[in-house]
Structure 1
Amino acid sequence: MDDMDEQMSTPREEVADEEGSEIDPLSDPEERRVLFAALDSFRQYRQAAHYNITHLRRQSFYSLPSTHMEILASEPFSLPKTLDAVDAAIDANADIAETVLALGLDMYGIDPESTDWHGAATSQDMDKVRSTIRQLYRDWAAEGASEREACCGPILASLNRAFEDISPAKRSHMSVLVPGAGLGRLAFEICNAGYAMEGNEISYHQLLVSNWILNYTSGPRSQSVYPWALGFSNHTRRSHQLQKVQVPDVWPSEELDRSCKDLEAELHAYQRMSMSSGDFCVLYKEPRYEAAFDAVTTCFFIDTAPNLIAYIETVKHCLKPGGVWINLGPLLWHFEGGSPEKKNSSTSSSPSETGRENQTRNRGIGESGSFELADEEVVKLVEHFGFQIVEHESVVGEAGYIQDPRSMLQNMYKPSFWMARKQ
């Protein structure tokens, strides 16, 4: 989409300070640091991946006894050829990282020739850029459709049930907020179904990639991604590690044009889809968002809260009376034990890797104190704050999270699903 006015998802700069007023991420020292670290992680992706993934393995390979090395260098093993293929896969992923970087520098008005932000990325930022690129499999590859359907499907069906009296053509008058929007697929699907949608995301890694995939891809299946190339464990075949997927599976601009015509929507999708960056609990407690939305949808999100009450209060504040909150996800409490990165750190498919940042740079999720509840207690707490539980399934199927279905290690969630109505 060539016209910036017609782009549907370029993040608006709505980062909020402790008083809730908007700030420029480049003028606030902490926001500037976090943004620069994210940008620098995309810059470093290629070099860091080549060094850590293949260079060090080559060193280890050539340190083997010569007789062992000869065996592994020949067919059917051909380990040097495998490392060459992994290098090629890294380069394909790095092409995406560098495209995203260029768009990010332009978006935030940063001189590409400046090196002020070089070296800002931490090891955690490098983990996030790797997992964010891998997340393209879940959100925007045809091969990730089963993961998406397990999560987006129930939410969209419930949203349509909640507003079944509204014709598809008039859904554009119903406003839906998607906190923790990630790479934007659920947000896109909600807009594609005819609703006015606003996504919110705190992670610059996620915002930068979602901006690229929604606004700047050149067509369906136009970019190659190798989601599993950087991991060498639990593959039954080497070809599985080197699986290539094409993204996006649908071209957002083309698909939204088509759905607008099919639904005879009164408002075009470009006018009813937007993204905001910042802490959900700070931004959406502002007076301007009081009773602003007809629905809030949360997917694999509420367990990112150290204090779930803060999330509940924020949802209640920004929902209209009679509005609905639709939630689906597990309860992998990210702050259990006091560390947002501690849980499931040994697995490659943990949501804590997806870039849903638990930054302490804003007052909302950075407040002190935390607790963890069971699903039945979560529902009771939501009821305590004046919501009526309309639907509740403690387990709704099984869902993977950036999971290679052919891997010898399978991490599957049995997420809870509920819909609550604000009284």
Structure 2
Amino acid sequence: MASVAELFVCPGCGEALGAGAGGVHCAACGRRFVEVAGATCLFAEPARFVQGWGRALAQLVRQAEQNQAAIREQRRGAMGSVERRLARLQEGLRANVATIRELLLAAGIPLEESVGPRAGDVMEVYVQSLRDWAWDTEENALALERMPKVEGRVLVLGAGACRLAWDLHRRDAPDHTVVLDVHPLPFAIAQRAMAGPPLTLWEFPPTPSAEMCVEREVTIHGAAAPWSFVLADGLSLPVQPGAFDTVVTPWFIDQVPTNVAELLPVIQRALRPGGRWLNLGPLVYRQTIDIACRYTIDELVELAAQHGLTMAAPPTRRTERYLCSPASGQGRLEEVFAFAAERDAAPAMAVPPAWWLHPQAPIPRWPELATFRAPNPLVAAVVERIDGHTSASDIAASLVQQLGIPAEGASQGVHATVRELARQVGRAPTPAATS
């Protein structure tokens, strides 16, 4: 079995990785990549990643305290049945935040009270984790049913809490499954589901059919091996060319990239010639994505072929339930597409840098910016804040706080400005480059 160090490259300098007693490291630039939630943390600045999630955890704890205070106030004078309902809700919230805090602390995410950018929302994909391991519904079985066999070395991008990846591994017994995501909490939950001990979580359905909070048990389902967890940027994947036989993208391509056309070189590069890309999910694009980039399924087939990923059979489509909790009085239906595309023998494509692809990645401080003449004060403020460590999202948050620009769309606007700056100073990546 190839190790993580053999399958990936350094996200900082692009050179080969090594592994030893101290974990995965890069001999060329000296970076060391810590383990978080049992996963190798392949970010150019692992400490910054950990700190960002520590701030997100601290924000969750602060928000929980505010929620507790609000519920305490509402309990005063409430009639008996309402008071009991609110008391149970209060206890569920307290217990759940304590469990999540314990999970992340054990995973290597310390509580970080310093001021600065957060890595994300701790609870962003929490409901998906419940669906994967705690609900007794058919969603997981239906997803597995639509997937063809996975073979060889398998990479699952945006694996989340890993249930589909786990089901595929147990069904097909590939040589090695590597699950990749940016979020540590689903990985921490998945590890408890695979190896134990059992875990008690709480669900808070927004439209409850009966109870406002429901206790959920994550039982031990069993291990999958050979198996590796990796925390990394799936849009600018630090992967060895041709490292994988199969790449799986479940519920990923319409939500994560701002333009799926920029994800396709990542998939093409990760696959060996003849390897297969397997996709399962809808095309329900975020409203912040440009209309031109909200591709139809026919356009996606054409786009994939332009990137050396050819579908021998047309995609299948089926209307399916999505995140329909047994505790909820409301559900959601999605048209879910499934397809398989094979990579051709053309050279591996170069992957654009992370800062070009999305607003969460640190932006390099190019020397040309020192003499760049900004056309207006807002662009000047963006240039001033590019220091080699901050991201477009960080800069947007700073501009919202300090200059009072509207928060809605700020991150996307700053990211577009950064891309235009890169073009003007000659630092934009070459389209369709190969390596």
TM-score by length of 2: 0.63
Rounded to whole Å, the distance in 2 between the matches of 1:330 and 1:296 is 17
| Deviation (angstroms), 1:188 | 1.9
2:70 is matched with: 56
Which aligned pairs between 1:342-353 and structure 2 lie closer than 5 A?
Answer: none
Question: How far, CA to CA, are the matches of 1:326 and 1:383 in structure 2?
Answer: 14
> Contact 2:55 / 2:118 at 8 angstroms: preserved in 1?
no
Aligned to 2:87: 84
| Residue 42 in structure 1 maps to residue 57 in structure 2 | yes
Any stretches of 5+ residues in structure 2 without a counterpart?
17-25, 35-40, 345-435
Contact conserved, 2:104 with 2:185, CA < 8 A, in 1? no
The answer to whether the Cα contact below 8 Å between 2:321 and 2:331 also exists between their aligned partners in 1 is no
Is residue 246 of structure 2 the alignment partner of residue 295 of structure 1? yes
Shift of 1:142: 4.1
Q: For residues 45 and 83 of structure 2, what CA distance do their matches in structure 1 show?
A: 44
Residues 179 and 229 in structure 2, CA contact (< 8 A), matched pair in contact too: yes
SS of alignment partner, residue 317 of structure 2: coil
Distance 1:209 1:39 in 2: 17
Question: Structure 1: how far apart are the matches of 2:302 and 2:13?
Answer: 30
Which of 120, 133, 156 lines up with 1:178 in the alignment? 156
Partner of 1:187: 165
CA contact (8 A) 1:207 1:277 kept: no
Q: What letter corresponds to residue 386 of structure 1 in structure 2?
A: G
Assess, with a 3 A threshold, how the Cα gap between structure 1 residues 213 and 46 changes in structure 2: closer, same or farther.
farther
Seen in structure 2, the aligned counterparts of structure 1 residues 301 and 131 have a Cα distance that, compared at 3 Å, is same
Query: Once the two structures are superposed, what CA deviation does each residue of 1:213-257 show, in whole Å capped at 9, x if it has no partner?
Result: 445x22xxx2222122xx5x42232x2x22222103x4323xx4x
Structure 1 CA distance, aligned partners of 2:60 and 2:182?
Answer: 21
Question: Under a length normalisation based on structure 1, what TM-score does the superposition of the two structures give?
Answer: 0.65
Which residue identity lines up with residue 11 of structure 2 in the other structure? A
Give the 5 Å matches for 1:101-250: 101-105=104-108, 117-119=112-114, 125=120, 128-143=121-136, 145-155=137-147, 158-159=148-149, 174-193=152-171, 194-195=173-174, 196-215=176-195, 217-218=196-197, 222-228=198-204, 233-237=206-210, 239=211, 241-248=212-219, 250=220
- CA drift at 1:394: 4.6
Distance change in 2, residues 1:42/1:31 (3 Å) = same
- Separation (CA, whole Å) in 2 of partners of 1:18 and 1:332: 35
User: How large is the Cα RMSD of the aligned pairs?
Assistant: 3.4
Listed as ranges, the gaps of 5+ residues in structure 1 are 1-7, 63-68, 161-170, 257-268, 339-368
2:273 match = 321
Within 2, Cα distance between the matches of 1:123 and 1:86?
27
Deviation at 1:91, TM superposition (A): 3.1
CA distance in 2, matches of 1:277, 1:15: 13
Mapped partners of 2:63, 2:235: distance in 1: 34
- C-alpha change, 1:336 and 1:45, in structure 2 (3 Å) is closer
Q: Is the partner of 2:123 in helix, strand or coil?
A: helix
Length, aligned pairs only:
317
Give the Cα separation in 1 of the matches to 2:44 and 2:249: 30
SS at match of 1:199: strand
Contact 1:15 1:24 in 2 (8 A): no
By relative contact order (CA 8 Å, sep 6+), the higher-ranking structure is 1
Deviation (angstroms), 1:274: 0.7
Matched position secondary structure for 1:392: coil
What secondary structure sits across from 2:338 in the alignment?
strand
Secondary structure in 2 aligned to 1:17? coil
Query: What SS does the corresponding residue of 1:81 show, helix, strand or coil?
Result: helix
Contact 2:237 2:266 in 1 (8 A): no
Q: Does the 8 Å CA contact 2:64/2:93 hold for their aligned counterparts?
A: yes
3-state DSSP of counterpart to 1:35: helix
Query: How has the CA–CA distance of structure 1 residues 20 and 313 changed in structure 2, closer, same or farther, with 3 Å as cutoff?
Result: farther
User: How far does the alpha carbon of each residue in 1:107-128 deviate from its partner, in whole angstroms, 9 at most, with x for none?
Assistant: x7xxx6xx7x224586884xx2
Q: Which has the higher helix share?
A: 1
Give the whole-Å Cα distance in 1 for the aligned partners of 2:146 and 2:158. 17
